[in-house]
Structure 1
Amino acid sequence: MTDIDARLAELGLTLPDAPAPAANYVPYVISGNTVYVSGQISQGPDGLILGKLGVDTTTEEGAKAAATCALSLLAQVRAACGGDWSKLKRVVKLTGFVNSTLDFSEQPKVVNGASDLLVEVLGEAGKHARSAVSAASLPLGVAVEIEGIFELV
């Protein structure tokens, strides 16, 4: 077991299988030492995590939804590395989309759910640049979608 696997187990977290794309795109692209991971939607073991922040979903629930996106991002990175975590150098950037009302303004607090999880699991290598933006709607009505850029060694 690698340090990342051990850390996930210590935190009681399980990575899902890398989700298959839902349309005509690939889940990730490797270019040089960079992995670009397509947007990962909020979903847990019980299915999709739906909702609109500012109407029927709280900031705290949104942050938990964002954390599931981070787990799916890590699952995609694991697949991109062929299961070899030693190839992962760091998280470079996340872009988080939050399904929210026009007056909802806590998108950064929602996307913190993903950022906090990545730092908890990866330590310094999990710190990253980030954008957190509102979206009037997201695919399938999910609460959060996050895409990521990762550096390989």
Structure 2
Amino acid sequence: MSEPTISQRLRELGIVLPAASEPAARYANYVIANGLLFVSGKGPSGHPKGKLGHAFTTEDGYRFARLAGIETLAVVQSAVGSLDNVKRVVKVQGFVNAVPEFEEHHKLLNGCSDLLLDVFGDKGVHARPVLGAVSLRDNLPVIIDSIFEVAAAE
């Protein structure tokens, strides 16, 4: 029996990818260089505003990171035509808009990491730093940027 396609996995997980969001300023949504796809920072859909540890809990942040991951996957799909063209997830970097006392950055970024593992299986294992920030654009609670190894779009 053959491995399910990424589209089949998304259906099984109940995930419908939105249209790729546009950049918030003067930069590219993504860049492909030497088989690597660099996706610009993506925040959660719905554009929630506020800081972790004040307006939002770690559980809220987990959900926001998952939503930012879904936004990222929409950009990847638009860049390479199909998520089946992803050879592996290389790196996910999270920026968390948090109060200075917040210490659970790593737990909330699992929202994105868990999504990528669910969607890509072993190809979803990635390197991952997460940083706290005093502020983020539009007062978003989390922004995620990422790097994927990709095959040429067919």
Q: TM-score, normalised by structure 2?
A: 0.92
In 2, Cα distance between the equivalents of 1:143 and 1:29? 25
Q: 2:130 aligns with which of 109, 129, 132?
A: 132
Cα deviation, residue 84, structure 1 = 2.6
**What RMSD in Å do the two structures reach over aligned CA positions?**
1.1
Match of 2:16 in 1: 14
Counterpart in the other structure of 2:87: 89
* Alignment-derived partner of residue 56 in structure 1: 55
Match of 2:102 in 1: 104
What corresponds to 1:72 in structure 2? 71
Unmatched segments (≥5 aa) in structure 2: none
Displacement of 1:57 after TM fit?
0.2
The structure with the largest strand share of the pair is 1
1:4 aligned partner, one-letter code: I
Distance, in Å, in 1 between the alignment partners of 2:23 and 2:17 is: 17
Could you tell me how far 1:9 is from its partner in structure 2? 1.0
Cα deviation 1:16-57 (Å, max 9, x = unaligned)? 1111111100000000100000000112xxx21222111110
Task: Write the letter of the residue equivalent to 1:24.
Answer: R
Distance in 2, matches of 1:104 and 1:84, equals 37
Pick aligned residue for 2:114 from 113, 116, 137: 116
Amino acid corresponding to residue 114 of structure 2 in structure 1: D
Separation in structure 2 between the aligned mates of residue 117 and residue 25 of structure 1, nearest angstrom: 26
Give the Å deviation of 1:4: 0.9
Identify the match of residue 152 of structure 1 among 136, 147, 150. 150
Compute the displacement of 1:68 (Å). Answer: 0.7
For 1:88 and 1:13, locate their aligned partners in 2 and report how far apart those are by CA, in whole Å.
17
**Alignment: residue pair count:** 148
In structure 1, the residue corresponding to 2:115 is in which secondary structure?
Answer: helix
- Give the secondary structure class of the aligned counterpart of 2:128: strand
Structure 1: which 5+ runs fail to align?
A: none
State the identity %. Answer: 45
Name the aligned partner's letter for residue 40 of structure 2: S
SS in 2 for 1:130: coil
List structure 1 segments (4+ residues) > 6 angstroms apart after TM superposition. Answer: none
In 2: Cα distance, 1:7 partner to 1:117 partner: 11
Task: Report the AA paired with residue 103 of structure 1.
Answer: E
Q: Is the 8 A contact 2:5 2:84 kept in 1?
A: no
| TM-score normalised by the chain length of structure 1 | 0.93
Write the distance in 1 (CA, Å) between the matches of 2:7 and 2:87.
15
